[in-house]
């Protein structure tokens, strides 16, 4: 998403300036070309050389530096930027921007740019709650400036409260969202991910190899594109995607309950979860003891959540998945029809590089009008973007 993007990173004078180094690292790792501007006060906290080394670009500190002026001009960065970020942003700099003051390289660039501007404030809690600051923030928000709210905690000045710079990871996520398409804004998308576990007794369960990666990639990308995302997840080892409402479940029954409890207001549901089709009829309260050479388990069907959604009178847009080891088109087309979904993502899981517990996936999308679109092997992130393109198109046509 950030590959090849020109990003101006403004660093102002606060103790959190050192955290801008980590943010710079995340941005460059994602392929962005980052140009750092430091205010004079920022240089009291951290040396420009650190940013210069890590960005591989000269750091801008003076408005009228003769060499920089000859080479790029003091407005060039503003013109070139796809996105400007100020992190940390002091009350002073935010006040100057709100008042239209452009008296150094950073405020001049911000004033002159047409790119989105993302501000991550960091200051003392009393400054943050001061009505003057609140007015300035509101003025800038009204003008379309974006903010990443600070965290609450112990501040460098010793006070407790709001004002701590948001984590570099959340500023990075907000930066990605700021330059992502917003074609899912206004939509509430429910995504299910991961496996379910159907317990036999307190120590054993029936499950599958789903890692949750496909569902989490969908959740992350839908959130970046402006959707409100509810992620119902079976047990996985993945961090919660930024800005997503995460609901953890274990069994198919629990997943069914959480999905149905939250379905009101959802405009689309994407069911990437690998829900166990069967569960033991009886769950033993005690550990089942090893006695005979053989043990038979009686299994009963779990609720088919997707089919239940398909039967709703007023149903949201439904996207199903089909994981198959053969006859991909035939079985996926049958599920599309039987579960009454709008389109289905068919995975050929006989391939080692696609489907369960790998970073990549290869899919065919089957639609109700008979279209079948085949996509080559790609990362789950890239496939999530493709699926969401179709979700956006179908929602727009509704
Ligand atoms: O999690 P990863 O490691 O990233 O792997 C991704 C994946 C392979 C799990 C994913 O891409 C995928 O294919 N998910 C669906 C797997 C599956 O259970 O397919 P199915 O053909 O058994 O089910 C068809 C559809 O019905 C699915 O959307 C499933 O969520 C849904 N279903 C199935 C059974 C059930 N009881 N309730 C359901 O809602």
pLDDT digits 0-9 by tens, 315-356: 999 999 999 999 999 999 999 999 999 999 999 999 999 999
The finding on whether 82 has its CB within 6 A of some atom of ligand 1 is no
For residue 68, pLDDT beyond 70: no
State the distance from the centre of ligand 1 to the C-alpha of 58, rounded, in angstroms: 49
**pLDDT at site 72:** 61
Nearest-atom number in ligand 1 for the CA of 319 is 28
Q: How many residues does the chain have?
A: 398
Q: Are 246 and 240 in contact (CB under 8 A)?
A: yes
- Rounded to an integer, the average pLDDT of 53-75 is 76
pLDDT in tens, 285-299: 999 998 888 999 999
> Each residue of 152-210: pLDDT tens digit?
988 787 888 889 999 999 999 999 999 998 999 999 999 999 999 999 999 999 999 99
Average pLDDT, stretch 301-319?
A: 97
Give the pTM.
Answer: 0.87
**What mean pLDDT is reported for the chain?**
94
Nearest CA to 8 out of 88, 120, 83, 94 is that of 83
Read off the pLDDT of each residue in 6-16 and give the average, rounded to a whole number. Answer: 96
Residue 318 near ligand 1, beta carbon < 6 Å: no
Minimal-distance CA residue to ligand 1 atom 21: 322
pLDDT of residue 73: 61
- 247: helix, coil or strand? strand
Nearest-CA residue for atom 17 of ligand 1: 274
Give the DSSP letter of residue 394.
Answer: H
Give the pair of three-digit tokens for residue 349. 């899981």
pLDDT at 42 over 60: yes
- Domains detected in the chain: 6-178 (3.40.50.1950), 188-397 (3.40.50.10300)
Q: How far is the CA of 274 from the centre of ligand 1 (A)?
A: 3
Residue numbers annotated as active site: 157
**CB of residue 322 inside a 6 A radius of ligand 1:** yes
Q: Residue 191's beta-bridge partner residues?
A: 231, 270
Q: What are the φ/ψ torsions at residue 173 (nearest 5 degrees)?
A: -60, -40
Rg for the chain, CA atoms, rounded: 25
Q: What average pLDDT score do residues 13-24 get?
A: 96
Tens digit of each residue's pLDDT (9 = 90 or more) over 78-117? 999 999 999 999 999 999 999 999 999 999 999 999 999 9
User: In this predicted structure, what is the pLDDT of residue 66?
Assistant: 55
Q: Is 306 in the pocket of ligand 1 (CB under 6 A)?
A: yes
């Amino acid at each position: 998403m950030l590959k090849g993007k020109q990003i101006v990173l403004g660093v102002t004078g606060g103790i959190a300036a050192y955290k801008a180094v980590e943010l710079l690292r995340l941005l460059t790792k994602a392929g962005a070309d980052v140009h750092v501007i430091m205010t004079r006060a920022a240089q009291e906290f951290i040396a420009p050389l650190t940013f210069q080394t890590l960005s591989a670009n000269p750091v801008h500190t003076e408005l009228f530096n003769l060499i920089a002026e000859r080479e790029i001009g003091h407005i060039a960065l503003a013109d070139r930027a796809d996105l400007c970020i100020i992190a940390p942003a002091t009350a002073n700099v935010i006040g100057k921007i709100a008042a239209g003051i452009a008296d150094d390289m950073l405020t001049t660039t911000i004033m002159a740019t047409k790119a989105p501007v993302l501000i991550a404030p960091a200051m003392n809690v009393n400054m943050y709650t001061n009505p003057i600051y609140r007015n300035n923030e509101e003025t800038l928000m009204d003008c379309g400036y974006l903010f990443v709210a600070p965290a609450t905690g112990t501040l460098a000045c010793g006070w407790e409260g709001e004002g701590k710079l948001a984590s570099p990871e959340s500023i990075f996520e907000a930066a990605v969202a700021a330059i992502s398409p917003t074609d899912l804004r206004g939509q509430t998308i429910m995504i299910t991910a991961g496996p379910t576990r159907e317990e036999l007794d307190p120590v054993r369960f029936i499950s599958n190899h789903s890692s949750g990666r496909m569902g989490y990639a969908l959740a992350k990308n839908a959130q970046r594109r402006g959707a409100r995302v509810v992620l119902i997840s079976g047990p996985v080892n993945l961090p919660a995607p930024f800005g997503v409402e995460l609901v953890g479940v274990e069994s198919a029954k629990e997943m069914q309950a959480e999905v149905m409890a939250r379905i009101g207001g959802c405009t689309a549901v994407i069911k990437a979860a690998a829900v166990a089709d069967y569960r033991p009829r009886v769950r033993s309260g005690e550990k089942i003891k090893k006695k005979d050479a053989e043990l038979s388990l009686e299994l009963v069907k779990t609720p088919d959540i997707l089919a239940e959604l398909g039967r709703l009178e007023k149903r949201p847009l439904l996207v199903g998945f089909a994981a198959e080891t053969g006859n991909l088109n035939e079985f996926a087309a049958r599920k599309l029809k039987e579960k009454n979904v709008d389109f289905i993502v068919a995975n050929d899981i006989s391939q080692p590089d696609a489907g369960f517990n790998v970073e990549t996936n290869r899919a065919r999308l089957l639609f109700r009008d008979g279209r079948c679109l085949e996509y080559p092997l790609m990362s789950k992130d890239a496939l999530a973007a493709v699926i969401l393109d179709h979700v956006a198109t179908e929602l727009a046509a509704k």
